[in-house]
Amino acid sequence: PSRPACHRVAVIGDSLMDNARWYLSSGLGQAGYSFVIDAQHSRRIPESVRVPYSGVIAARQVRSTWGDADCWVIALGSNDLIYGGGASGIAASLIESMLTSVTPGSSIWWVNLDYHRDPEFSFDFVGATSTFNAALRTRAAVDANLTVIDWYSLAESHREWFFDPVHVDTIGSRARAQQVVDALGHPPE
C-alpha cells in the first residue's frame, strides 16, 4: 500500500541544506506544505554533539516546538564521515539514532552524500561517502518508511556545481532543493 501524502514536513540538515534553504522554502511553499527547515553549518548526527550542531537534538527540538511532522527530510552525514561515519557499523548506528528521533511512523526521506577527495586531508572522503551511502541503502531496503534521495548521482553528473569537495554553487543548491520537493511528491511505498 502507498503511504499517505505529506502535509507537515520537517527538514533537518547541514550547510548544504542551509545553502539551499531559500529555494527549498519556496518549493515547499508552492507545493502547499506546512514546513519547518532546521539547517545548520557543521551539523552532525549524534546527540553527544552540542546544540545547535546535533541533528538528533534538532529533530527533538522541532518536535517539541513545532510539533510532529508526517514527513521528514534528513540531509546529514557529510560532517560525520571523518568522525567514524565512514565505517559501516558506525554509519548504521548514526542513521538509527537519527531515525529514532523523528516522529514515530512518519515517512522519511534521507538525502545521500557526495563528498569528493579533499586535498587538505589524507582521509578517504570518497570511500567514506560510499560506505555511508551503502548503509543508507541497506537501511532503506528493510524500512518501508525510509526513502533515499539520490543526491550523489545527480551531483556527480554535474561536477561543475562544486566549489569545494562537498558544497555546491547556487545552481546546485537550487537543484538539490528541487530534488527534495520532487521526492516528497512520491511517498515511500
pLDDT at 185: 87
Task: Give pTM, 2 decimals.
Answer: 0.95
Tens-digit pLDDT profile for residues 80-103: 999 999 999 999 999 999 999 999
User: What's the mean pLDDT in 10-19?
Assistant: 98
**CA distance linking residue 146 with residue 7, whole number of Å:** 17
List C-alpha distances in Å: 155 to 115, 129, 150, 176.
10, 13, 9, 8
Summary count for the chain: helices (H), strands (E): 7, 5
**Cα(122)–Cα(128) distance, integer angstroms:** 12
